[in-house]
Chain A
Amino acid sequence: GESVGLHLPTLSVQEGDNSIINCAYSNSASDYFIWYKQESGKGPQFIIDIRSNMDKRQGQRVTVLLNKTVKHLSLQIAATQPGDSAVYFCAEALSGTPLVFGKGTRLSVIA
């Protein structure tokens, strides 16, 4: 079985409800942020990104919010579905440097 994801914080959400996954990033100089979704046995998959000159960006059913004052990033998923069950990672980068990934949050959707 998949060993990745043990010891991760877990968020349990009822199907149809909205989910909010939070991330505290470390480098106040970071100017690019990404959210990835990782399903069991697969590689991370891009969800949405945001640059530091923005504080909100919307995609299909997802919204990313950036609060640079407190170095906080959040991912909101509207009308959560069973297929949203996965581990979600935030990542940050400063121009010219590789992404640095957070430890991840497991989202469990209750049908």
Chain B
Amino acid sequence: NAGVTQTPKFQVLKTGQSMTLQCAQDMNHNSMYWYRQDPGMGLRLIYYSASEGTTDKGEVPNGYNVSRLNKREFSLRLESAAPSQTSVYFCASIRQGLAQDTQYFGPGTRLTVL
């Protein structure tokens, strides 16, 4: 049981390049989330998927797209990376819906956009 896994761990992009951050969980959780973490800003929600087949915008969705590929996988795509997207990205999952329950986090992807 690996919990929540993320790939890659580190990535450097040039402005305008695209990339997809991968996230997978093996806990049979229904809901998955993408956050970004910047110095002094805490965790801010980008997008979430309350259940397979649904996605919703969070606090800071601009410049990102997501795909809930199946129950296990939730990917985050940057179509045209900008320096403002330099951040640490965390994926998380929760057992069901938006129920008040513990979120489990992945180890993070550290992205630098030059």
Nearest CB to that of B56 among chain A residues? A98
Flag if A43 contacts B108 (CB, 8 Å): yes
Overall SS of chain B's interface:
strand
Q: Is A103 an interface residue (CB 8 A)?
A: yes
Overall SS of chain A's interface:
loop
Q: Is B74 an interface residue (CB 8 A)?
A: no
Q: What is the size category of the interface that chain A forms with chain B?
A: 20 to 34
Q: List B residues 76-114 near A (Cβ within 8 Å).
A: 88, 90, 92, 97-98, 100, 102-108
Q: What is the size category of the interface that chain B forms with chain A?
A: 20 to 34
Q: Mark A83-109, 1 if CB is under 8 A from B, else 0.
A: 000000101010111111111100000
Q: Is A7 an interface residue (CB 8 A)?
A: yes
Please name 11 further chain A to chain B contacts, defined as beta carbons within 8 Å, in addition to the given A43-B106, A51-B100, A98-B33, sorted by A numbering: A4-B37, A6-B39, A41-B108, A43-B4, A44-B105, A99-B103, A101-B42, A101-B43, A102-B42, A103-B41, A103-B42
